[in-house]
Amino acid sequence: MELAGVGANASNNRVPGRTPPRLDRGFWSRWLAWLVLLGLPSACRCDAPAPDAAPVASSVLLPTASTIAISPAATAVAETEPFEAPRVAVGSTLALATDERVLYVAAEDHKALFTAPLPLGSAPATRYDLPGAPAQLVVAGHRLFVTIRDPGLLLELHTDGVNLTEAARVELPPDAWGLTLTPDGQSALTSSPWSAKLSYVDLTTHSLRWSKSVARDPRGIVFTRGTRAYVSHLVSSALTRVDLDSGAIQSVALPAAPWRTAPGDELSASLGYALASDANGERVFAARHALGALGKNAWFGAASVDVLLTSSDRPLAPRAPSALPKLRSALAEQLISGADTDFSGSSLTPFTQPRALVVRRSTDTLLVAGEGDDRIAELDALAPDPTQATIHEYQVGTGYHPTFHVARQGAAPAGLALSQDEKSLYVYSRATNDVSLVQLLEPEAPDSSGRSPVAHLELAPDPLGPFGATGRKLFHSATDRTISGGLACAGCHPEGRDDGFVWREVTFTTEDGENKNFVGSARNIPPEAHTSGSARRTPLLAERVGGAGPYGWHAESPTLVDRELQGFRLHRWGGQPEHEQQTVDTAANAIADYLRRGLVPPPSVPIPSSGPIAEQIAEGRRIFNSRETGCADCHLAATGYSIWQAMPLAVLAPPTGFDPDPDQNFKVPSLRHLAGRAPYLHDGSAASLEELIRINANRMGKTSHLSSTEQSALVAFLQTL
Amino acid sequence: MNENRAVTKPLAALGLVLLALLLTAGAPKDQHEPKLDALDWPVVLSSAPSPAEWKKAATFAPSRRTGERSSGCRYRHLREWVRIDCAALKVAAITQLGGQADGVSFHIEPAGEDRLPGAGSLIFPLRAGERRAFAFWTFGEGYDGPLTVVPAINVQAVWLEGAARPLLLVSDALNEPVPTAHHPR
């Protein structure tokens, strides 16, 4: 299938020495596309797949207004061509062509691939529409590999330097995201976060060798020693280790930010999008957010890059076994109290909300994209704790809005690509859908010049329009202190989903007076408050905020905007700064617009039409809707599986280390998209849906009378919502 | 004339000295020192050097050092021991943030007339298999006003099993407080 350049950019996509996209071929493609739409038999069917291989889907028309796209998937050609090892095997949202004349960008919010001729800005970008939202891509010679989230696919595209042609596609579990090629370029490992699957794909036959279940939300993948790979998880500090030869999969502990952790504690992590390894595969670097990491006023923890030694699968930075030595001057003793100097946390880490990570091997440094502060931090890759060894910082965001403090360019960096000489860094910023070029400094250079991008290229305007676009930026930005206390909405609701973490809602006194705040650890709460806080498990937002209201744990916020305004006050340390209410109201409305129109819901779980699983789901639906259980009385399907009001519930003992909630009237939550977002209940005390039903008894509806078979059926149904 | 020459010669020399001082004032103290990577780091287990021994200890440059504040420190080694003296810093505190604590010692010069403490010293052994992290703290603008205790210099030492020599990594600490109503970012 050929994916020809489209839109207004196509006609003026001229680079010296090159030919423009072949629109004549696109013209015939359009005609053929209409024939397909009219139901005429397609001549584009692929050969039937081998019995033990996943089917290679037939080419389909890409249903966009101005897209030109159709021709057979040339699998036979792909099989016979020699493989070229990728220069960068780890997937990213952007990648450089081997000759560095073109930059490829996977623009998820546009469901498109963009090509940007280099030098950046020398010509407009060209758009190629895709069959779904792309997540990551890898370039290997003239081949491009792209994961598509929904439907789950791995696309192989070929480029002749100008046009893109689809060569093959492999069906993957829904929500295909992470992508890394084996060093020889002949296989790929992909992750599907919502399905919690890893998939091993043979690129020579375009067949799926296997898909295996792993822990929740697998994301970044990196190969280290031969066929050994490590996988990060969005909502956990542990990595998954995969040995392709044996097929063995195991969990590898890598506690987050051990040097910002109290002795005896072990921290979990969120935002584990990115992994990278050093040149020898001896170290794996995991960029994430350490939940509950300590420091002065560190209510939300701290960003972290944790290092795993692959020779032993042990962390490079050991945990503190006990209290460590310290010496304070007499004046310092007078000025500070408690453990203020025990952790290097009175400053933030050099980036907020890590989103992407690459290793600059020529300088032994790491480049980390901070989604929340529009920054790239360059860190010492040799250090046990790279976040405490900052080399340089580069500000990607520019043109900040005077009122909302969001960047006009370079907002929410989400992908990084290094030039071959490692002196130039290309940054894809998702909230502004643009690419920035940053000239990197040498490590020993004074940190005083060259910190801003030298070029920007906007790929396409935000499909949500200006108001939704502002909401998108605000959702990802931690730079406006009126709406963010140092961590953006996306810090706890990555992609509008959830961080799987149980926070603490607690009232205590700071220099701002008494306020109700959220904190990540009981150790963050001033001892004089004499409380541990109420448990608050982060809710998933996507496709669950469409109702008029009310919102809040106890239905205390009449509307979504009211809930956001409350969130601006809650999710910080101390009180909200003085502000113009009208400005904050506008920001809340913009975010609400983005939440309702911009967030992409998780993919639906495929439901078989017949067979034992279909029968089990049908039985579960019957139980759910039955008078005996009463589930549907509160979780009403017609209104998103909620009746949008608080209901009195029997007291649930709080999890260990938390205080009881003073109010046991909880708003009925929507049950949409339950399957991929464990743990459950407002306090995260049920690790799985099975456990939730088992421990529920008659607290929510009545389930104590259900047999184990009936409980399983109910769970099977709930997983389809 | 001769008297004038006699006066101008020392003045010119003084001027040259001052000029040289001026030109080198901003240069890192370890700029011309041998890097730790070029040293044969001893694999020994010795007791901590005495103050008299430290006076004869050789200076060196860390494996990597970045930032202005850490450029004002002096790095010495004796046997497997490391000493870091930060004389240009008003050291509020020195703390260990991670790793093994054996053999670690700190010293902070008492406060002078300005009531601010003086230089600070950090001594620790650097042996195979060890990882250690330290922070020098100073005073700066922050939550507690202009005399807030803030991190100034981070020190990380690591000698991986099987590696030929250790690494000493020194960098200026960031001081960017979490924003609050009273303390914007």
Asked if residues A117 and A143 have their Cβ atoms less than 8 Å apart, the reply is no
Residues A510 and B179: beta-carbon distance below 8 Å: no
Check whether the bond before A119 is cis (ω within 30° of 0).
yes
Give the length of chain A: 721
- Provide, as residue numbers in chain B, all residues whose Cβ is less than 8 Å from the Cβ of A331: 92, 111, 115-117, 139, 147
Which of residues 444 through 473 in chain A touch B, CB cutoff 8 A?
A: 444, 447
- pLDDT value at A339 more than 70: no
Edge to edge, the sheet with strand A502-510 lists A513-519, A502-510, A534-537
Query: Which residue in chain B is spatially nearest to A337 when comparing CA positions?
Result: B149
Cα atoms found within 13 Å of the Cα of residue B49, Cβ hemisphere only: 20
Enter the DSSP assignment of A92. B
* Interface membership of A382 toward B (CB under 8 Å): yes
Confidence of residue A70 (pLDDT cuts 50, 70, 90): very low
pLDDT of residue B118: 87
Residue of A nearest to B161 (CA): A311
Q: If you average pLDDT over residues A625-641, what whole number do you get?
A: 92
Chain B interface disruption, residue of A278, A331, A378, A382, most B CBs within 10 A = A331
Tokens describing residue B171:
């960098």
Give pLDDT, residue A606.
79
From the CA of B114, how many Å to the nearest CA of chain A?
A: 11
pLDDT at A574: 87
Residues in A touching B101 (Cβ below 8 Å): 324-325
Identify the band that residue A6 occupies on the pLDDT scale cut at 50, 70 and 90: very low
Most A CBs within 10 A among B95, B116, B148, B167, hence the mutation to make, goes to B95
> pLDDT value at position B180?
59
Which residues in chain B touch residue A447, judged by CB atoms under 8 angstroms apart? 66-67
pLDDT tens column, A565-598: 999 999 998 888 888 999 999 999 999 999 999 9
- pLDDT(A711) > 80: yes
Read off the pLDDT band of A267 (50, 70, 90).
Answer: very high
Return the top range by mean pLDDT from A388-397, A468-477, A504-513, A689-698. A468-477
Distance from CA of B163 to the nearest CA of A (A): 12
Residue A257 with chain B: CB contacts under 8 Å: none
CB atoms within 10 A of CB B24: 11
Q: Which residues of A139-150 are buried (b: 16+ CB within 10 A; e: fewer)?
A: bbbbbbbbbbbb
What's the mean pLDDT in A70-83?
A: 47
CA distance B81 to A63: 69
Nearest to A486 among B107, B147, B178 (CB): B178
Residue A617: the pLDDT is 94
Q: How far apart are the first and last CA of chain A?
A: 35
pLDDT tens track for A554-564 = 999 999 999 99
**pLDDT above 60: residue A5:** no
Residue B28 pLDDT: 61
Q: A578: which chain B residues are within 8 Å (Cβ-Cβ)? A: 181
Q: Binning pLDDT at 50, 70 and 90, where does residue A673 land? A: very high
Q: Residue B64's pLDDT is what? A: 94
Tell me how far the alpha carbon of residue A709 is from its chain's centroid: 35
Q: Six-digit token pair at A516?
A: 């109700």
Sheet holding A455-458, edge to edge: A413-418, A424-429, A434-439, A455-458
Q: What tens digit of pLDDT does each residue of B26-64 get? A: 456 666 788 888 888 888 889 999 999 999 999 999 999
Residues of chain A with C-beta less than 8 angstroms from the C-beta of B169: 380, 382-383, 389
Task: For residue B106, give how far its alpha carbon lies from the nearest alpha carbon of chain A (Å).
Answer: 7
pLDDT tens digits, B86-126? 998 999 999 998 998 999 999 999 887 777 888 999 999 99
- Whole-number pLDDT of residue A225: 76
Quick one: CA torsion of B176, B181, B184, B185, rounded to 10 degrees? 40
pLDDT band at A341 (very low <50, low <70, confident <90, very high): low
**DSSP assignment of A442-479:** PTTS-TTSS-S-SEEEE-S--TTHHHHHHHHHHHH---
CB contact under 8 A, A259 and B98: yes
How does residue A249 score in pLDDT terms, banded at 50, 70 and 90?
very high
How close is the nearest chain B Cα to the Cα of A427, in Å? Answer: 23
B129 contacts in A (CB within 8 Å)?
Answer: none
Per the CB < 8 Å rule, is B64 touching A344? Answer: no
Kindly list the residues from chain A whose CB atom is less than 8 angstroms away from the CB atom of residue B116. Answer: 331
pLDDT given for residue A294 in this prediction:
86
pLDDT above 60 (res A24): no
Handedness of CA B162, B168, B171, B177 (dihedral sign): positive
Strand spans (E) along chain B:
58-59, 64-66, 73-78, 81-86, 93-99, 105-108, 120-125, 131-142, 145-158, 167-172
B169·A258 Cβ contact <8 A: no
For residue A30, what are the CA distances in angstroms to A36, A62, A66? Answer: 10, 10, 9
* Inter-chain CB proximity A346 and B175 less than 8 Å: yes
Nearest CA in chain A to B181: A577
- Partner-chain residue, chosen from B144, B171, B174, that has the shortest CB–CB distance to A380: B171
3-state secondary structure of B25: helix
Beta partners for A437?
A426, A455
pLDDT in tens, A301-314: 999 999 999 999 99
Chain B's closest residue to A484, CA to CA, is: B179
Which residue of chain B has the CA closest to A309?
A: B160
pLDDT of A28-66, one tens digit each? 333 333 333 333 333 333 333 333 333 333 232 233 333
pLDDT band at A342 (very low <50, low <70, confident <90, very high): low
Smallest Cβ distance to B178: which of A297, A336, A443? A297
Which of B184 and A551 is assigned the larger pLDDT?
A: A551
Residue B42, min C-alpha distance to chain A (Å): 21
Distance from the Cα of A510 to chain B's closest Cα (Å) equals 10
The mean pLDDT value of chain A amounts to 85
pLDDT digits (tens, 9 = 90+) for A438-474: 999 998 887 655 478 889 999 999 999 999 999 999 9
Residue A159, SS3 per DSSP: strand
The pTM of the whole model exceeds 0.90:
no
Q: How confident is the model at residue B140 (pLDDT cuts 50, 70, 90)?
A: confident
CB A118 within 8 A of CB A103: yes
Chain A residue numbers with beta carbons less than 8 Å from the beta carbon of B185 are 479, 481, 486
Q: Do A347 and B117 touch (CB under 8 A)?
A: no
Q: Is B77:B60 a contact under the CB 8 Å cutoff? A: yes
| Min Cα–Cα distance to chain A from B108, Å | 7
Confidence class of residue B22 from pLDDT cuts 50, 70 and 90?
very low
Give CA–CA dist A466/A406, Å, rounded: 13
pLDDT score of A340: 65
Residue A353 in contact with residue A377, Cβ under 8 Å? no
Least confident interval from A190-204, A614-628, B136-150: B136-150
pLDDT value for A56: 31
